[in-house]
Structure 1
Amino acid sequence: MSEHKVFSMAFSKIYALYVQKAMKKNRTEAEVVQIICWLTAYRPEEVKKQVSSGNDFASFFAAAPKINPNTSLIKGGVCGVRVDEIEDPLMRNIRYLDKLIDELAKGKAMVNILRN
C-alpha cells in the first residue's frame, strides 16, 4: 500500500495554511498553536521549532510527546470523511488537527474546540 501524500508534506507548509485559514476568519496564530499544543502536548516553543525544522507531517506526529486522550470526543467530517472512522492512526491525527482548525475558522469558542 502506498503512503499518503500528506504524510510527506512539510509541516511548515501545512502550518502556514492553518494560520492563513484562521487569520482570514479573524482568529490568531496563537489560537492555532494552542490547538496544536492541545492535540500533541508540544509546548508552544516546540511547535515553532517543528515549523522551522523542515520535518514532514509524519515526523511531526512521531515526535509529539503524546496525543491528547480527549481526541475521542472529536466527531464529524473533514474532506468528506468522518474523523472518528479513520483507521490509520497518523491519518486520523492529521484529520483531527484539520477538524479542529476548521472549527476555529468557523468561529467556535476555544473552550469547545479543546473539548473542555
Structure 2
Amino acid sequence: MNTTPEHDARMAQMTFASVYPHYVTKVERKGRTKDELHQVITWLTGFDDKKLQELIDQKATFETFFSEATINPNADLITGVICGYRIEEIENTLTKQVRYLDKQVDELAKGKKMEKILRTA
C-alpha cells in the first residue's frame, strides 16, 4: 500500500512539536527513557539535544525538521510495517523519513535492544 498525495502533504505540515510528547509518553510508559529516545532521534537525524529543542520551540513542521536533518546512511535498513504502510515501499522521501522515526520509536517502546534499533553490528 502506498501513500496518497494528501497523506504526504498532511505528514509534511504536521509539527514535530505536536508529535514529540507522544513519543516521550509512549517510550516512558514502556519503561524506556527520554535519553534513549533522544539517542534514537540523534542517530536518525544527526540532531543534538540543543538543535532538537530549537526545532520543538520553533514548532517546525516535519518538512522543515527533516530538511535540516542529516539522515543516517543506514536508515534504509529500517524496514517493516508501521501505521499500515510497508516502509520500504513508501515512495515519498519525507513520508518515508517520518515513518523511519515512527518505526524506531515503536521498536524502542517494544523493548528492542538499542543495537538493533540503531542498526549496528
CA distance in 2: counterparts of 1:70 and 1:12, whole angstroms: 25
Percent of aligned positions that are identical: 43
Q: Does 1:92 align with 2:96?
A: yes
TM, length-normalised to structure 2: 0.89
The structural deviation recorded for 1:80 is 1.2
TM, length-normalised to structure 1: 0.93
Residue correspondences, number: 115
Counterpart of 2:74 in 1: which secondary structure? helix
CA deviation string 1:31-81 (max 9, x = no partner): 1111111001111211121111111111111111x1101012111110111
Counterpart of 2:60 in 1: which secondary structure? coil
Q: Does 1:50 align with 2:50?
A: no
Which consecutive unaligned segments of at least 5 residues does structure 1 have?
Answer: none
Match of 1:69 in 2: 73
CA distance in 2: counterparts of 1:96 and 1:19, whole angstroms: 16
CA distance in 2: counterparts of 1:87 and 1:28, whole angstroms: 32
* Two-structure CA RMSD over aligned residues (Å): 1.1
Which consecutive unaligned segments of at least 5 residues does structure 2 have?
Answer: none
Q: Which of 9, 12, 21 is the matching residue for 1:16?
A: 21
The ranges of structure 1 where at least 4 consecutive aligned residues each deviate by more than 3 angstroms after the TM superposition are: none
Q: Does 1:81 align with 2:92?
A: no
Structure ranking higher on relative contact order (CA contacts 8 Å, 6+ apart): 2
